[in-house]
Structure formats: structure tokens, C-alpha cells
A and B are shown apart, each in its own frame.
Chain A
């Protein structure tokens, strides 16, 4: 993939005095939705601030679509950033807040007006447009920040905990919006603590812990790289006991449990490929009727627990 189409970190470190922010980060983020996952203090916000030029790296180099974050005039035309700071310039209505900062892009009054209205409509704030942002609820403030981040139609949208404070309906709408932007070929970088939502949103994840990138890539790929944890597979079939009996002969099987209505078999294996071969054999030998076979722990939550574990307890 060309550097003009990726966000690239080359050996990037950032220290706050003697405190580590992120260390030796090497990443290439392709278009689509990428989630930054990690406990508090893992370095998610630092990474976002680095790629938006709000912080400078102590070492290393960053390129956002081929542009250095120090080149703010070019970068900020391509990047929208919804930070976690719940603060706004005083005395501005939702409309004026968006409009005033759009004017800095050099757009005409008509264009700023149009974009402001469109963005507010997209986040469902059209009716509250003329109310002071200071009088908004937390959810509305979160939405107006989202609207401000996307008002100039950026190619890269960076969202720090964007679902905080949103009600379930607004969360679902926001997630749909992120997915839509990702499908349009934009870079959508999201940090979130809510792992099941990360699962819904992400094309790829970046797991961070204590300033280091622990893993990156599509979540299934990351899971398959975690060799020291047996893979869990859920098989739904008519005779799980027959399958379980055959499994116990195998060295790579760690555990097998019949669950739920007696038709589910949850097993743990150190060698998923061998298990799938065996399953084929059992089906042929015993005429087993299999309804479904699915990995049970290739979601963000499981990978997070395996790689980061209890040190970074999260939702």
C-alpha cells in the first residue's frame, strides 16, 4: 500500500519528561476502521495526539497519508479529531462553534453554513443548533464534537472515546456512521474501552499496553498469533457426546464441555487445523449432523484478556 494511503509510525517514541507515553511504535494503518484498545495509560491518546500533530515525537517519524503532522496547514485539511476533552470555547452556540472553526479552512460563508448544517444534521443536533454548547447535555456535547471533527469532510477521522456519554440509540447510530466512513475508504481511528463495540466497529485493532504496541491487525489474525492460549471452538451438532469421546484421544485437545441445551460442544485446542481434520473424519465415520462450527474466542475481548489480561481491566 502506498505511503499516501496509510498512516505510518516508524520507531516512534514519546516521553513526558521521564514518563513513557509510547515507545518504539512501528505501525502501518490502512484505510478502514481501526480501533486502539488498551487500559488507561496504555498510550492510546498519546498515539492520537502524535498523529494529529498536537504532540511531537521524542524520536521517530510519523506520516499521515504521506504528510508530516508538523505540516499542520496540510494535515488539518485531511484530518478531523474528536478529542476526549469535554471543553468548548465559551459563548458559542452549536452552529457558531462549527461555523467559526470551518471559517479557518478559508471556505466561503455559504459553504461553511452548508457544511455546518449538514454536520449538525448528521449527528442529530439540527434542532439544538442555536443553543449554547455550554447548555448541552453530555451526550449532545459529544455529538457536537463529532460534528466538528467531520464538518470539513476529512479523509482521516480520529475519535478518542467517541461513544462516551451517548445513549444506546446514539451509540448504534454512531457505530453505523463509523462503519460507513470506513467502507468509503476513509481512515477511522477509534479508541474505546467498550470491547464488544470495538468488535462491531473494527476492521483492525491495535492493542496497546504500557506504551507498547502488543498486537495489531485484523482481530482473527491477532488471535491466531496468540499460540500460548488454546483456541476455543463452539460446535453445534446432534450428538456432541460422540464428538467429545473422539476428541479426548487427541493430545491437542485441552478441554471439551457440553453446554446449553445439550447440542453445543465448547472445546479448547492447541491445534485448530488438526481439530478441523478430525471433525471431518467424525462426520464421515459417525454421520454426525453439524449445524455450526465457530471460533468462540477470536473477539477483541478474548484477545485483550490473553494479551493484556487483568492488568488492564476494562468493560
Chain B
């Protein structure tokens, strides 16, 4: 017989997946996920009908690395914001959170169950998007691309990108879960986090490290060189080793989740009536 807490988390997960996944309200998140795939698809179609070779396979891998950083800062950041802030705040707006609060469920488990549901949805949207974009971007190179994938560094790079995307969902998910629990309008702290993350390249080395993006960039397999005129403002910092970056990000997410559990325990139902 399964333990009670496992059943309870499974119950929350089931309900939340029903609520979060494929909701009409989340149409813009699906657009964020599918956007890069469409760009890569167009790139493939254009390049495969073009007879002149304009760039090399290596250049395309740098292009993808650049696209991936935009994907992290844009699609995954805003997608996670949409998914995770609505887990609690959305239910407050819909006036349905009290149903959970009136069950004999530890609020910490509720936060964990909701977070897991958000994570499942985020990963289901963004990992296939990253994989499809990566695979489509060099498709027009034909056999060379297949060789790059199978015998070269291609699959390893794809694995790294998927790991980074997963960690991004874990990290940003935890940040936005807390935002949705603690703030009545989570858009304000979300905007602050976004500005901080966007300023990351220009911050001093010490401040850079108080950021999720810094560690994610450290884990990316291909470095993107800064382009002028921004290159003069960029402050370089030594990338963090994966042995610190990965556990570090997971630890930050765990701390935020513990804080979310404590906040959930202290939360009240006040729908503003």
C-alpha cells in the first residue's frame, strides 16, 4: 500500500495537470515553446532551397547557442512565469484554492505537488522544443549533419542543452512558485528577476553569480561571443564548473521550495471579497 503522502502528491499532480496542461488560457506559453521550432523550420526550408552555401556547420552551432540563450531568457523564463505563478495565484483568482486547503493535506505537500505538476508541463513543452529546434537547424547539411550528430559532438551538445533547459525549468519554476505564493501581483517581482537576469552579462563577477542564468550559461556546450557594441560593456567571469553549477541550482530550487512550503502553511484564503 502506497504511503499517504505519495497518494496525496499524486492526487495533486493529477488535478493540477488537468488544470494546467492544455488550458486555453495558456495559449501564449505554447506559442513561446513552438516559436523557435518555427524559426528553425523556416531556416531549414530556406537553406534547403538555396543553392549557395552561406555558412558552415560550426557557425550554425554557434547560431543555435545564441538562439538557446534567447530561448532561456525569453521562452523558458516567461513560460515558467506563466505556468508557475498561476499555480497558487491563479487558484486565488479563480477562487478554488480553498478546496485544497480543506483537505487533510500538508501545505508543504500541496506546494510540492503543484510544483511537480508545473515542472511536468514546462518540461513537456520546452524540452521537445529545444530538441526539435536543434535537430532542424542543421538539417539542411544532410549527411554531414547526421555525421555531426552520430559521430561528432552533436548528441552530446543536445544532451547538454536539454539538461540546461531542465535546470532552467527547475530553477525559474521554483522562483515563480514563490512569487505566486508570496506576492499578490507576481508580475512585479517577475519583472525585477527578468531585468536582473538580462543585466547579468554587464554585472561585476560577484553579482553575476547571484543569478540562475549565469550558472545555466556555464553549462552550455558552445560559448556565444559578445558582439559589438555590447562586447565593450560585458564583464567576463570564469564559468562555474558543472559539479558546482548543477548541485548549486538544485540546492537553490530546494531552498525556494522549502520557503514555498512555509509560505503555503501560513497562507490564508482571502479572495478579496
Contact = CB atoms under 8 A, between A and B. Distances in A.
A87 B7 contact: no
B268 A54 contact: yes
Nearest to A50: B268
Contacts of B14: 100
A104 B105 contact: yes
Contacts of A72: 101, 104-107
Give the contact-size bracket for chain A. 20 to 34
A89 B99 contact: yes
Interface stretch (B15-23, B131-139, B161-169): B15-23
B269 to A, nearest CB: 4
Interface string B57-92: 000000000000000000000000000000000000
B28 interface: no
A181 B48 CA distance: 75
Contacts of A53: 101
B94 interface: yes
A103 B11 contact: yes
A100 B15 contact: yes
Q: Which of A16, A49, A53, A85: most chain B CB closer than 10 A?
A: A85
Q: Which of B23, B99, B105: most chain A CB closer than 10 A?
A: B99
A257 to B, nearest CB: 45
15 contacts: A49-B269, A54-B98, A54-B101, A55-B269, A74-B104, A75-B104, A76-B105, A81-B98, A81-B102, A83-B98, A85-B271, A88-B96, A91-B18, A100-B11, A103-B8
A89 B96 contact: yes
A191 to B, nearest CB: 14
A56 B267 CA distance: 9
B96 A87 contact: yes
A90 interface: yes
A216 to B, nearest CB: 25
A81 B97 CA distance: 13
B184 interface: no
Interface in B153-204: none
A77 interface: yes
Interface string B231-273: 0000000000000000000000000000000000010111100
B107 to A, nearest CB: 7
Nearest to B268: A55
Nearest to A90: B19
B143 interface: no
A73 interface: yes
Interface string A48-70: 01001111100000000000000
B53 interface: no
A303 B95 CA distance: 35
Nearest to A54: B269
Interface of B: 4, 7-8, 11-12, 14-15, 18-19, 23, 94-96, 98-107, 266, 268-271
Interface in A77-107: 77, 79-81, 83, 85, 87-92, 100-101, 103-106
Contacts of A91: 18-19
B268 A56 contact: yes
A81 B105 CA distance: 15
A73 B105 contact: yes
Contact of A79 (B7, B11, B102, B107): B102
A106 B269 contact: no
Interface string A138-159: 0000000000100000000000
Contacts of A89: 15, 18-19, 94, 96, 99
B96 A104 contact: no
A80 B102 CA distance: 7
Given A16-B270, A89-B15, A103-B7, A77 B98 contact: no
Contacts of A73: 104-106
Given A76-B105, A77-B104, 17 more contacts: A52-B102, A54-B98, A54-B102, A74-B104, A81-B98, A89-B15, A89-B18, A89-B94, A90-B23, A91-B19, A92-B18, A100-B15, A101-B102, A104-B12, A104-B103, A104-B105, A106-B104
Contacts of A106: 4, 7-8, 104
B99 A101 contact: yes
B96 A76 contact: no
Nearest to B6: A106
Q: Rank and list the top 6 A-B pairs by shortest CB-CB distance, nearest first.
A: A104-B103, A87-B95, A54-B269, A76-B104, A106-B4, A103-B11
A85 B93 CA distance: 12
Given A89-B15, A90-B23, A106-B7, A76 B102 contact: yes
Nearest to B18: A91
Q: Which of A56, A72, A91, A148: most chain B CB closer than 10 A?
A: A72
A87 to B, nearest CB: 4
A49 B97 CA distance: 13
